[in-house]
Amino acid sequence: MDLKEWLLKLGVENYYSLLNRQNLTLAKLRMIHSHDELKKLGINSFLVRKKILAGIEKLNHLNNTDNSQGWNQTEKRIIENYPYLLAYPFYEMLTEKEPFLKLQLMKDLFLNILKYLGILYLTEYLRSSRNSEEINILFRGKMLIPQFGNWNHLIQSIFTFLKQENHVFLIPELLESFSELELGRGKKTRRYKIEIVFTDDFGDKRTVFQQVSAISALINFRNRYIGHNITLKPEKSKKVFKIYYPILLDLLEKIGFCSDYNIKSYSDRTEINWTGIEPETKINKDVSKQRNVYLKSKQEETVLPELFIQMQEFNREKKLLLYDKIENNMIVYTSVKRDIIRIPLISIPKNELLDIGIDYDN
């Protein structure tokens, strides 16, 4: 990658001429580490300098850690080829040094996995000509302010319904690999023996070991170790990570098909390919595609439902936003980097809202 391509990825390609006139290459730019150095090059905007310095730090860190961290081939493939909404939090988790924060990042990544699968299944549901009152009721009852288990419940309900209706899947792996995705109870579903702590009818805490799926195991991890104002000590955090990280990695391997379906967004004559930890930006020549997020399969590009995934500009940077909840007629979205953005419910296409049973007036 040369300097021009790298600046384009950062969204500051208009500074290429300025830097090129001074014989700056990407290799030379990577040696810069301060605002003052960039000021001397004629970059006066603080936000642009901040963006360039962050890009340099990430570029140097990735190159330095690629060998020294001892990442295996699966981990490298996730970082390079998986959708950005999975690849970036995975990379962030791997490079985090503080043990308890590493657990929190693992929880965030797991939630993004559930949201990603949920978006794919919801896309299939909205594309179908079928309507399920059970799914609509589930969304109204559980998905306005969803918990981890609610996403899993929604995914299972949509899968069961579409399979019964003989729906032809845009993403056939969602049908073919259902058991391998650890969402069902089929014979192919791998089970993990984990410790479950619960309170019995007499108010006493009990501990049992159960064989559960990857998603059930990770929901147990979230409920037991993250939240409720719990803060684990470093050694305990390391032990918990050692138990649950292989389960998370196994789940990510089972959705490896996601690298065959790129997420793209189009706006303001810009096309962004949201793959890996550094989304690729280039000029969008198709003016008919504006302000939408698409899933690109081998056969076609399909618009993903705006209710669940959006691309918006925030602090002069384009962000990929995932659905979080609905409150006070506003949809709350979060970015991979934990920005929070609220969008009026009425801005969402009516067919998406009606199909899942949301009333504009409520």
Domains and CATH numbers, the chain: 3-68 (1.10.150.50), 259-355 (no CATH)
Residue 327: which residues within 8 A CB-CB, separation 6 or more?
144, 145
Q: What is the pLDDT along the chain (362 residues), one digit of tens a residue?
A: 678 878 888 888 899 999 988 888 887 888 888 888 899 899 999 888 988 998 888 777 666 554 446 788 899 899 989 999 999 999 999 999 999 999 999 999 999 999 999 999 999 998 888 888 888 888 888 888 898 989 989 998 999 899 899 999 989 888 876 666 655 555 556 788 888 877 767 777 788 888 888 888 999 999 889 977 788 999 999 999 999 999 999 999 989 999 999 999 987 778 889 999 988 887 766 656 666 799 987 678 888 999 999 998 877 788 899 999 998 889 999 999 889 999 998 888 877 775 655 655 54
The two tokens of residue 199 are: 């309170």
Q: How is 155-219 classified by DSSP, letter by letter? A: HHHHHHHHHHTT---SSTHHHHTTTTTT-S--TT---EEEEEEEE-TTS-EEEEEEEE-HHHHHH
Please report how many Cα atoms fall inside a 13 Å half-sphere around the Cα of residue 41, on the Cβ side. 26
> Residues, the chain, total?
362
What whole-number distance in Å separates Cα of residue 299 and Cα of residue 121?
A: 18
The two tokens of residue 260 are: 């065959």
What whole-number distance in Å separates Cα of residue 113 and Cα of residue 248?
A: 10
pLDDT tens track for 110-148: 999 999 999 999 999 988 888 888 888 888 888 888 989
Q: How is 243-275 classified by DSSP, letter by letter? A: HHHHHHHHHHHHTGGGGGSEEEEEETTEEEE-B
